[in-house]
Amino acid sequence: MVVFVSIFWPSPLKKSSKIIGAVYRSELIIEAKHPKENLDKHIYQLERYLSHLSAKHGLITNGKELRIYRRLINGLVLLFSCTTKNLDDSIEQIDKLIGKENLFSAEQSNSDCIHIVYDNQIGARKMKTIAIYHHKGGVGKTTISVNLAAVFSKKGKRVLLIDIDAQANSTFAVGLIKFQFEEDDDLRDRNVYNLFEKTRYEYNFVPGLVKKSHYFNQTEFDVIPSHITLIEKQSDLLGAGSSGLRLARKLALVEDQYDIVIIDTPPSLDIYAQASLTAADYLIIPSDLKPFSNQGMPSVIRFVEQVINENKEGLQKPPIKIMGVLPSKISTNHQYLTHVYPKYRSIISDRYNLPLMSSKISERSALSNCINKTITVGNLNIPDPKSIIEYASEDSSASSSAIEFDNLANEILIKMEV
Ligand SMILES: Nc1ncnc2c1ncn2[C@@H]1O[C@H](COP(=O)(O)OP(=O)(O)OP(=O)(O)O)[C@@H](O)[C@H]1O
Ligand SMILES: [Mg+2]
């Protein structure tokens, strides 16, 4: 049986299809290109995927032509090619090359495990890093960061959430602060601060620090936690000129491992905010659109233009893209939405010349309730936070917020062209 035909054959023909391949225990990678694509241009990329995943065979098609390659030490060798018009006549030959029985030796084939590989899961598209930032406090940065991470991971993205705020609210929100006593604090010595250090222990790099979001969301994602001690340690970093660039450099080392990195930032212009935005490709500025938040916009713009983009230039990276101001904690009151909200929106573009996101996150108690959920164990009330999508599956009053987050995630994916 030629498994890929039955499972994946339609995908090369659909422009919008997200699935481009399958890995059978890293044996076979299938890559589907748009019919207008010339396959010759993609062989080098296919070779990279095969090397990266230690796979032996690669199938590439644009829906008109189909080729099968085998990876050797010094490159790819073409084993087979045909036009898809002749596919029926070639099935037997293809089966011999990459049919399930032939692809695996007897001792390997005791598992039928199939991993679907999405087009952005094998490095075809670069990791995108988004900073959720406004130096105005309480505008919803953390609420947006943790729930976006949840929605993206539900959509099949490989997500890393980084908490760089010493208040550690994202760390709490995803359920990593469950300890009741200081002596049980397992985050004190292993947290995001370690990424700012120059030493080269395992825990100074992303993989050595990652925790799982576990019960926060049905689909887990990776989290680098923060800690209150970030505040006192900040003075150690001030003298070290390049420490603000280390986060960007260390994230670059894992760019094949994640699709989306979300950074929850502190409400300040400090070195942690600087490092976050320097490491980010995109900036989303949550705002309740009220005068106080608006009056902070010019300094956000100056910070980006004068500090962040200069840092990025030093790293030979393009300037950060301001994806937009995201209306957050917006009242659901009908009068407000009809008369005040449209005016507030227009001020952002007219007065501050900033792009506005089309999505909005309304003010709803479900969004604070889901993070503040607890369970009782004996005499203790243990935090048991849930993402809004998880919470909505238990409590229908949360579904409007879950939908808003889904819309926001879709808007972001479109804007990042993912
Ligand atoms: N859309 C919303 N609806 C209702 N409550 C919200 C909403 N967004 C945030 N909140 C609540 O507002 C408070 C501040 O939100 P959050 O912590 O997300 O803001 P922040 O910008 O991260 O704050 P800080 O600047 O202190 O880090 C929290 O109590 C949170 O539960
Ligand atoms: Mg916060």
Ligand 1 pocket test: pick from 134, 143, 292 the residue with the most ligand atoms within 8 Å of its Cβ. 143
The CATH number assigned to the domain holding 305 equals: 3.40.50.300
Other Cβ atoms closer than 10 A to 230: 23
- Interval 265-283: pLDDT, tens: 999 999 999 999 999 999 9
Note whether 89 and 22 are same-domain residues.
yes
Distances (CA, A) of 133 to 38, 138, 176, 275, 314: 41, 11, 22, 12, 22
**Residue recorded with tokens 């469950």:** 178
Give residue 55's pLDDT band: very low, low, confident or very high (50, 70, 90): confident
Lowest-confidence range among 37-46, 184-193, 308-317? 37-46
Residue 118 has pLDDT above 60, yes or no: no
Is the CB of 360 within 6 Å of ligand 1?
no
Domain membership of residue 123 (yes or no) is no
Token pair 């500090």: residue: 307
139 plus 114 within the same structural domain:
no
Task: Kindly report the number of other CB atoms within 10 A of residue 303's CB atom.
Answer: 17
CA torsion through residues 20, 24, 29, 30, sign: negative
C-alpha to C-alpha distance for 235 and 221, rounded to whole angstroms:
31
For residues 137-164, average pLDDT: 97
Query: 303 CA to middle of ligand 2, Å?
Result: 19
With pLDDT > 70 as the criterion, what percentage of the chain qualifies? 87
5 pLDDT more than 70: no
Contact 361 CB / ligand 1 (< 6 Å): yes
Task: Strands of 242-360 (E only): list them.
Answer: 260-264, 282-287, 321-330
Domain boundary among 92, 118, 144: 118
The total domain count for the chain is: 2
Question: What pLDDT score was predicted for residue 332?
Answer: 97
Task: Catalogue the E-assigned strands of 11-169.
Answer: 19-23, 28-32, 57-61, 65-72, 75-83, 115-118, 128-132, 159-163
**CA 339 / ligand 1 centre spacing (Å):** 24
Which tokens sit at 183? Answer: 């002596």
Tokens describing residue 407: 């819309």
Quote the CA–CA distance of 94 and 1 in Å, as a whole number: 10
Q: Are residues 74 and 140 in the same domain?
A: no
The reply to whether 104 and 156 lie within a common domain is no
111 & 138 share domain:
no
Length of the chain: 418
Pocket test for ligand 1, best of 132, 135, 142 (most atoms within 8 A of CB): 142
Q: What is the mean pLDDT of residues 347-354?
A: 94
Instruction: Output the CA torsion sign for 149, 153, 155, 158.
Output: positive
Per residue in 318-331, pLDDT (tens digit) is: 999 999 999 999 99
The predicted structure's pLDDT at residue 111: 36
Pick from 290, 308, 112, 148: which is nearest to 223 by CA? 148
- The answer to whether position 10 is within a domain reads yes
Residue 216 pLDDT exceeds 90: yes
* Residues 106, 339: Cα–Cα separation, whole Å: 70
- For 173-194, b/e burial (b = at least 16 CB within 10 A) is bbbbbbeeeeeeeebeeebbbb
Where among 55, 87, 118 does a domain terminate?
118
Domain endpoint, select from 118, 152, 167: 118
* 112 and 176 housed in the same domain: no
Domain check: are 72 and 214 in the same one? no
Evaluate whether residue 196 is within a structural domain.
Answer: yes
pTM score above 0.85: no
Tell me, what's the pLDDT at 104?
A: 59
Strands across the sheet with 211-212, in order? 211-212, 222-224, 159-163, 260-264, 128-132, 282-287, 321-330, 361-362
Q: What is the dihedral of CA 288, 177, 206, 200, to 10 degrees?
A: 120
Answer yes or no: do 106 and 139 share one domain: no
Domain limits at 384? 128-415
Atom of ligand 1 nearest to the CA of 265: 27
The two tokens of residue 169 are: 């609210």
CA of 224 to the centre of ligand 2 (A): 15
Alpha helices, DSSP H only, in 210-308? 230-238, 243-252, 271-279, 291-295, 297-302
Average pLDDT over residues 217-226: 96
Ligand closest in space to the Cα of 369: 1
Ligand nearest to the CA of 328: 1
pLDDT digits (tens, 9 = 90+) for 366-415: 999 999 999 888 888 889 999 999 999 999 999 999 999 999 999 999 99
Cβ contact 24:100 at 8 Å:
yes
180 and 326 fall within a common domain: yes
Q: Is the CB of 383 under 6 A from ligand 1?
A: no
111: CA distance to ligand 2 center in Å? 44
Considering the chain, what percentage of its residues have pLDDT values greater than 90? 58
Quickly tell me which residue has 């804007």 as its tokens: 415
Same domain, 89 and 133: no
